[in-house]
Amino acid sequence: MGLMKKTFVNFEQLQEITKKYPTPFHLYDEKGIRKNARRLKQAFEWNKGFKEYFAVKATPNPAILKILEEEGCGVDCSSLTELMLSEAVGFEGNEMMFSSNMTPPEDFMLAHRLNAIINFDDITHIDCFNKVADMPETICCRYNPGGKFLISNDIMDNPGEAKYGFTHRQLIEGFNTLQRLGVKHFGLHAFLASNTTSQEYYPVLAKLLFEAAVELNHATGAHISFINLSGGIGIPYQPGQEPVDIMAIGAGVRRVYDEVLVPAGMDDVAIYTELGRFMLGPYGCLVATAIHEKHIYKDYIGLDACAADLMRPAIYGAYHHITVMGKENNPCEHKYDITGGLCENNDKFAIDRLLPQIQIGDLLVIHDTGAHGFSMGYNYNGKLRSAEVLLKEDGSTELIRRAETPADYFATLDFTGLFK
């Protein structure tokens, strides 16, 4: 028996669901999403201004955003259409943050009209924004400390190679410029590592940002009202991998807050987070059917899903666990490459994966696709993007995005009369 990961939906449930919705589709677990959002809120309840701004890019579906809104979350948007989507769901004003880069002026204009909190990525954004909109009283700036980001002497990431953020010197200059333009309250933001399951990540990042905030306050006199720790908290993709303890992470940030900000007289600073993967990743899966098998130099199982439905394995070599439904207790004695039908050899969900013997028609669940799953999809080879289905708390299901049709694929072309 190989290591197991449990699915949030059982075989009998899934058989019923697939009678209603043909595979492939992404399935989301409302109960798990709500429970996780409440746990995050509890971990940071010590901070009276705490707010999670869900990264819309991770799972841009209004039904999902509505669940998070009901749990007290805001949204972090990175584009014009994400702002439009969030407005349509009902988010408004400071429930929205706009964090973008290389930003077109029309995006800034909409963010301003919606009274979203603007998060400038670059010092030149100040002038770009000021040309198209009045400067609001609250502005956030994204910090890039450069160099390498270390935790316990392990290199977590390389901010000096990232395109995002202000340098320290630019922050001082930017804060002074913004104050001259009428800004009264500031936020500070940084994202320095992705998908880390280290409990230390947020406290170490928080200390770096808190110390930068104290220095900026001393250097410019600016009032820093919030610090956004952004995202980067990871999830256990591998079986047997322990999930992060969000309560311990919240307590770790609190210790650094008390150590750095409180003695500096900055105990009114609100903590924001901007989590996507942590909020949704484990609460979504891709459901697919085995439709082909091929035996040449290796054994292949072909699914009706492909990399257009889930890009992470193809572009990152990322591991996603796979369960053959109804065979959870069978021995994993067969080595397969699990593939899709794209004309690309990297269109593989798993390589040399030990699984139970798979027959044509078996349902496979690919785990942990709740964030950066459907949202990264594309239409290469004319593949049509799948449906999204919500498994509700009462066990019923709701189609929250229908599958694409050929008419959708051709909608931007003038093929008048071809599709009726």
The predicted-structure confidence for 264-317, as pLDDT tens digits, reads as follows 999 999 999 999 999 999 999 999 999 999 999 999 999 999 999 999 999 999
Low-confidence ranges of the chain (pLDDT < 50): 1
Residues 295 and 371 in one domain: yes
Q: 229-257 burial, b if ≥16 CB within 10 A, otherwise e?
A: bbbbbbbbbeeeeeebebeebbebbbebb
Give the helix ranges, DSSP H, for 221-304: 246-260, 277-280
- How much is the pLDDT for 158? 73
**The domain boundary residue, chosen from 281, 304, 330:** 281
Domain assignment present for 376: yes
As annotated, the active-site residues are 343
Of 74, 114, 113, 116, the C-alpha closest to 98 is 116
The per-residue pLDDT for 254 is 98
Residues 260, 331: one domain?
no
Q: How many CB atoms lie within 10 A of CB 67?
A: 22
Mean pLDDT over the full length of the chain: 95
Tell me how far apart the alpha carbons of residues 280 and 145 are, in angstroms, rounded to a whole number.
29
314 and 166 in a single domain? The answer is no
Q: Are residues 216 and 354 in the same domain?
A: no
186 forms beta bridges with 139, 224
How many independent structural domains does the chain possess?
Answer: 2
Q: What is the pLDDT of residues 165-200, one digit of tens each?
A: 999 999 999 999 999 999 999 999 998 888 888 899
User: Does 250 share its domain with 362?
Assistant: no
pLDDT of 192: 84
State the CB neighbour count (10 A cutoff) for residue 105: 12
Q: What is the pLDDT of residue 417?
A: 65
User: Measured between alpha carbons, how far is 29 from 34 in angstroms, rounded to an integer?
Assistant: 9
- Tell me if 122 is assigned to some domain: yes
Final residue belonging to a domain, choices 260, 281, 302: 281
Residue 140 lies in a domain: yes
Q: Estimate the crossing angle of helix 62-70 against helix 80-89, to 10 degrees.
A: 60
Asked if residue 6 belongs to a domain, the reply is no
Report if residue 22 sits inside a domain: yes
